[in-house]
Amino acid sequence: MRNETPDLPRRMLMGPGPSEVHPRVLAALARPTLGHLDPAFVGLMDEIVQMLRQAFQTTNQLTFPVSAPGSAGMECCFVNLLERGDSVVVCANGVFGMRMKENVERCGATPIMVEDPWGAPVDPDKLRAALKANPGVKTVAFVHAETSTGVRSDAAALCAIAREFGALTIVDTVTSLGGIDVNVDAWGADAVYAGSQKCLSCPPGLSPVTFSERAAARVKARRTKVQSWFLDLSLVMGYWGDGKGGGRTYHHTAPINALYGLHEALLMLREEGLEQAWRRHAVTHRALVAGVEAMGMKMKVDAGVRLPQLNLVEIPAGVDDAAVRRRLLNEFNLEIGSGLGAWAGKVWRIGLLGRSATPAYVLGCLTALEAVLHSAGAPIQLGRAYGAAHAVLTA
């Protein structure tokens, strides 16, 4: 047992999350702790809600950060909208779509699966066929940005099909919020959740959520209590209030300092501008791809559906996945992610999430990866990655 705080290393976080936290956010975390009903803190809560609406591009009244990670945001959406016996179409094209299935089953509802291959987006025609074949489905759930595969699905199209059949939508934007266009109102999405630790470059532990008026009406019309006391919207919103600075009802002791950090991260996003943030992620993505391909390696996912903030690179034949990642961590303080499921040992997941979506991180990652692969005897082209990426960044 240590008798003092350990001297932890400084890493370049370029995996699937968490992302590196900006010094401004770290400084905000160190501000004096207030009571969770202190009027000064209540004012900050109102500002967080307002900025979350801007980030989600919504006017939804029912918008706030769940006091727990993105997985709790996911569960919040499911337990509030589903009741035992409901039928739910779950679109799965990776690990996190299957987690949605788990949530449906634990709510006592029946999942109707629409599955697409890893590396492919959710097929809108398959969703339409499933809804035609299963009249009375109340809810459709899908992942906008699948973290296990680096694939983006067409949220606007999927939400439109669900509305056509009278179903509400639950949408996972954990990896997309702040990195690509998330437009809740334009999509007509009903329950949307995200995480603080991806493109917002905030520490893990908070999950922004937003619910449409249709979703709020579904919650009010429930026949049974929400199975989770902690995530019950009818209770939680007594604490988060009406957004007008009115009285609050104690529900739980909010993570005060973590919310300071989220406030600062959202403020920085607002200062940069949503479109500029998306553009930054897109440019650094193109630079990374140029460098990877200049080395002679391949991207795993087709260009038309790739997430700019999460890049899957095929591991060259004969290269030891774990050994490369270990050397990157130990010799360069660089973390990249391993593959999941069927793609474990076959791909690396390189994140350009939030603060990591910068030229310095892209060029540093390519330089380190080239050095380690060359020393491991991998069949790569030397001396080309940096120049290829730099040309994109300075174009």
* Dist CA 73 CA 202 (whole Å): 16
| Residue 337: domain span | 274-393
The verdict on 170 and 190 lying in the same domain is: yes
Specify if 13 maps to a domain: no
Specify if 240 maps to a domain: yes
CATH number of the domain that 212 lies in? 3.40.640.10
SS (H, E, C) the chain: CCCCCCCCCCCEECCCCCCCCCHHHHHHHCCCCCCCCCHHHHHHHHHHHHHHHHHHCCCCCEEEEECCCHHHHHHHHHHHHCCCCCEEEEEECCHHHHHHHHHHHHCCCEEEEEECCCCCCCCHHHHHHHHHHCCCCCEEEEECEECCCCEECCHHHHHHHHHHCCCEEEEECCCCECCECCCHHHHCCCEEECCCCCCCCCCCCCEEEEECHHHHHHHHCCCCCCCCCCCCHHHHHHHHCCCCCCCCCCCCCCCHHHHHHHHHHHHHHHHHCHHHHHHHHHHHHHHHHHHHHHCCCCECCCHHHEECCEEEEECCCCCCHHHHHHHHHHHHCEECEECCHHHCCCEEEEECCHHHCCHHHHHHHHHHHHHHHHHCCCCCCCCCHHHHHHHHHCC
Phi, psi (rounded to 5 degrees) for 372:
-70, -45
What confidence score (pLDDT) does residue 1 get? 63
Specify if 356 maps to a domain: yes
The verdict on 366 and 233 lying in the same domain is: no
The verdict on 96 and 147 lying in the same domain is: yes
Specify if 15 maps to a domain: no
* Dist CA 197 CA 200 (whole Å): 6
Burial of 197 (0-12, 13-18, 19+ CB in 10 A): buried
- Measured at the CA of 179, the angle between CA 141 and CA 24, to 5 degrees, comes to 125
* Chosen domain end from 271, 298, 329: 271
Residue type, 375: S
What confidence score (pLDDT) does residue 241 get? 74
The verdict on 141 and 31 lying in the same domain is: yes
CATH number of the domain that 333 lies in? 3.90.1150.10
Specify if 7 maps to a domain: no
The verdict on 236 and 278 lying in the same domain is: no
Specify if 154 maps to a domain: yes
The verdict on 243 and 342 lying in the same domain is: no
The verdict on 240 and 139 lying in the same domain is: yes
Specify if 191 maps to a domain: yes
The verdict on 354 and 367 lying in the same domain is: yes
* Residue at token pair 């990249």: 336
The verdict on 36 and 161 lying in the same domain is: yes
Burial of 71 (0-12, 13-18, 19+ CB in 10 A): middle
What confidence score (pLDDT) does residue 74 get? 98
* Chosen domain end from 221, 250, 271: 271
The verdict on 250 and 328 lying in the same domain is: no
The verdict on 162 and 287 lying in the same domain is: no
Into how many domains does the chain fold? Answer: 2
Specify if 35 maps to a domain: yes
The verdict on 76 and 184 lying in the same domain is: yes
What confidence score (pLDDT) does residue 246 get? 57
Burial of 163 (0-12, 13-18, 19+ CB in 10 A): middle
The reported pTM is 0.96
Contact 199, 179 (CB under 8 A): yes
Per-residue pLDDT 10s for the chain (395 aa) are 667 778 889 999 999 999 999 999 999 999 999 999 999 999 999 999 999 999 999 999 999 999 999 999 999 999 999 999 999 999 999 999 999 999 999 999 999 999 999 999 999 999 999 999 999 999 999 999 999 999 999 999 999 999 999 999 999 999 999 999 999 999 999 999 999 999 999 999 999 999 999 999 999 999 999 999 999 999 998 899 754 545 688 899 999 999 999 999 999 999 999 999 999 999 999 999 999 999 999 999 999 999 999 999 999 999 999 999 999 999 999 999 999 999 999 999 999 999 999 999 999 999 999 999 999 999 999 999 999 999 999 99
* Chosen domain end from 221, 240, 271: 271
